[in-house]
Chains A and B, each alone.
Chain A
Amino acid sequence: MTGLVALCSGSGAEVHTFAESRYREQLTGVVYTGGTVELNGADGVWIPEGTPRRRLAAHAAGLQALLERGGTVLLFGDHQAGWPATVRWTYRPAGGAGDTVLPSTEHGFAAQVGSCAQQLHHHGVLDPPAGADVLLAAPDGAAVAYLDRTSTRGTLFVSTVDPLAHYGHTSDAGSRRFLDAFLPWVTDTLLTGGHR
C-alpha cells in the first residue's frame, strides 16, 4: 500500500471525511486504528486530530519505523500522546484564526496552502526541534505548524490546526479549503521528496 494512508478511529467526522470522493481519491488506504495497523509500504500517513492517545501509542512503533525509513507522517490537533518524542505541545485556548503568520514565505507550503492555513484556528502551540521549518506561527512567533526533516530520515508535519474535525463535523468551508490545498501539497511535494 504505497501513497498516502489515513488512520481512522471510527468517528463520524472521520468516516464522513474519508468517504468524500475528493479526499478518498487522494488516499491509497484508510486504516482502522482499533485493529492491527499495517503500514508496510505506505509513503505517508495522515493521523487525524483526536486520534485516541492509547491507540496512537499502540501504533507508535510502526509509525516511527515509517519515519525511520524515510516516510511522511502528518499530525494535527493537540499532542499529548507521548509520540513522537520530539513533539512538544503547550495548551492555549483555541483561537488565532486569521492572525497566524507564514514565517517561511519562500516555502512551498506558504504558496500552496498558506492563506488557507491562516484562516483556521489552532489548539495550542509547538516548540519545534532544532532544524525544523516553521510553516505557520502565532503572532508572538510560537509555532502552529512545522516540518521536521532532521530528527529522522523521514518527514514529520506537525500542526495544531484541526481541519478534519471541523470539516467532518460541520462541513466547515475554511477547513475544506485547507484540505483541498494541503493534500495535493502533501502528495506532490512531501511524498515525492520535492521539498529536499
Chain B
Amino acid sequence: MTCYLRLHELAVAVHPDVTGADWDVAHRRWLQADGVRGRDDAFEAMPVTLIELDDLPDTDLSPFAGVVLSGRSDQELLASRRDDIAAFLERGRVVVFSGRLTTDWLAGATPFERDGGDVAPPGSPELAEHPMFDGVSADDLGAGFLYRDGWHRPPEGAEILARRPDGTPGAYANRNASGGTVLVHGGTNLLANAVHDTSAARVVPQLLAWVGAQANRGAGAAL
C-alpha cells in the first residue's frame, strides 16, 4: 500500500461512459506502479480524467459524471468552491470523498466526528449490498478500510454502505432532491484499493461504474 503517490494531488473526474475501459490493463499498471508516472499510466487506462486539484477552480466539470477526492485533498481550496460543487451536484452528478471532512464544502454531507481511537475494536468492515462491493471480501478490505478514530454521522435517509466493527456507519451515500449524490467514506481513498491483488481491487472499477450509473439516472442536465 502506498499513501501519497499521486492520489492526494488530484480530483479524479469520472467519465459518463465507463464501459469501454479494460480494468485488467489498468489493474496491472496499478500493481506495477513505482511512482507518480506509474500511477498516471494506470489512470490513463481508466475512464477518468485527472484534474490537478489546484486547477479545479478553472475546470469545467460538466462533461463528467462525478469526481473522486482523496482525504489529503486541500479542503480550504474545496471550501472556496463550495457553490460550484453544489451546482455540480444539482446537475445530478456525484462527488465521492474518502477521508475526514473538516470544512463545510460538500452539500449533503456531515462533518467528521472523532470517537474510539485506539480503544475502538479493530476488524473488518461490515459491507452492505451495493454494486461497489460485488464480489469484494470484507476481510480483503481489512481493518484499514474504515477509520477507527471517528466517523461521519449519516444524514437522515442516507444509504449506509459500510459499518465499522462496532456497528457505527463508516460510509454512506446521500442523494439530494435533484438526483445528485455524495458518497462519504471515512477511510483511505477508495481508488487506492487498486494497489491490492485481491478482491479489494474490485471496488475501483465498480465504484466508477456506480458513479456513471448514478449520474445518468439523475434528474439533472443530460450527460
Given contacts A34-B54, A171-B117, contact A11 B8 (CB under 8 A): yes
State in angstroms the CA–CA spacing of A98 and B72 once bound together: 26
Chain A contacts with B in 1-57, Cβ cutoff 8 A: 9-13, 15-16, 32, 34, 49-50, 52-55
Q: Which of A12, A53, A55, A93 contacts B1 (CB 8 A)?
A: A93
Q: Separation in Å of the A165 CB from the closest CB of chain B?
A: 6
Q: Which of A53, A77, A80, A173 contacts B3 (CB 8 A)?
A: A77
B5, closest chain A residue (CB): A78
State in angstroms the CA–CA spacing of A11 and B35 once bound together: 21
Q: Which of A15, A55, A77 contacts B54 (CB 8 A)?
A: A55
**In the complex the two chains form, is B3's CB within 8 Å of A162's CB?**
yes
**In the complex the two chains form, is B71's CB within 8 Å of A162's CB?**
no
Residues of A within 8 A of B74 (CB): 9-11, 34, 52
Q: Which of A11, A50, A171 contacts B75 (CB 8 A)?
A: A11
Using a Cβ–Cβ cut-off of 8 Å, how many residues does chain B contribute to the interface with A? 33
A171, closest chain B residue (CB): B149
Say if the beta carbon of A94 comes within 8 Å of chain B: yes
**In the complex the two chains form, is A11's CB within 8 Å of B71's CB?**
yes
**In the complex the two chains form, is B36's CB within 8 Å of A80's CB?**
yes
Residues of A within 8 A of B30 (CB): none
Instruction: Taking A13-B72, A170-B147 as given, write out 7 further A-B residue pairs in contact, using a Cβ cutoff of 8 Å, ordered by the A residue number.
Output: A11-B8, A34-B76, A49-B4, A50-B72, A55-B54, A123-B4, A169-B188
Closest 9 CB pairs of A and B: A10-B74, A10-B76, A91-B34, A12-B100, A171-B149, A12-B102, A11-B72, A50-B4, A52-B9
